[in-house]
Amino acid sequence: MYLNDIYKIKDYIKIGKGIWDALEKEDFQSIVDFYNTFLAEIPYDGLGKRNEYWYRALFLLLLRCVGIIGYAEVHTAKGRSDIVVQLDRQIIVIEFKLAENAEAVDSKRQEGISQIRRRGYAKAYEGTSRKVASVVIVANDELRQATL
C-alpha cells in the first residue's frame, strides 16, 4: 500500500494479489508468468554470472516482496528441496533447475520431477491437514525466462 500511495505504483497490489491467488489455485503457469515479468525488468548488463541459485534467489525475493514467505534449501531425510511455501491450506514444494538453452529444458524438467519423487520432498508434509503440491520450474538461461 505504501508503494501505491507514495510512489503511485498501481500494479503493485495487482501483481501481489495475482501471485497469492495463483498459489492458492495451484496455477503454476501464472506464477511463472509473473516471475518472467520480474526477470524481464532486470537489465542485461547487470546480470553477472547466473546459476540455479541466482534464479531461485530472485524467485524467493519476488515471493517475499508480495508477502509470501518461501523457505529455501529445506532439509528432509533424503535431501534438500529448493523452496517450500506454506500457506494456510496447502504446502507447495518447488524444485528449480537451470537449463543452459532451450534444448536442455525438457531433460531438466524430468530431472526435477524425478528428484522430487526419488527424494520424497513432498512426502515430509503428507501428515498435515494441508494439501501438498509440487512443481518444477526450469530457468532457461539463454532466454532468461522460466518455464514449467
- Rounded CA-CA distance 120/98 in Å is 21
The boundaries of the domain holding residue 41 are 2-147
Residue 16: predicted pLDDT = 81
* Domain count within the chain: 1
Give the strand pairing for 70-76 and 131-140: unpaired
The CATH number assigned to the domain holding 46 equals 3.40.1350
Does residue 101 contact residue 139 with C-beta atoms inside 8 Å? Answer: no
- Rounded CA-CA distance 64/56 in Å is 12
Query: From the first residue on, what is the mean pLDDT of each consecutive set of 10 residues in the chain (148 residues)?
Result: 52 77 93 92 77 93 90 93 94 97 96 96 91 96 93
- Three cell numbers written together for 84: 517450500
In residues, how long is the chain?
148
Write out the H or E segment, with its range, that includes residue 95: strand 90-99
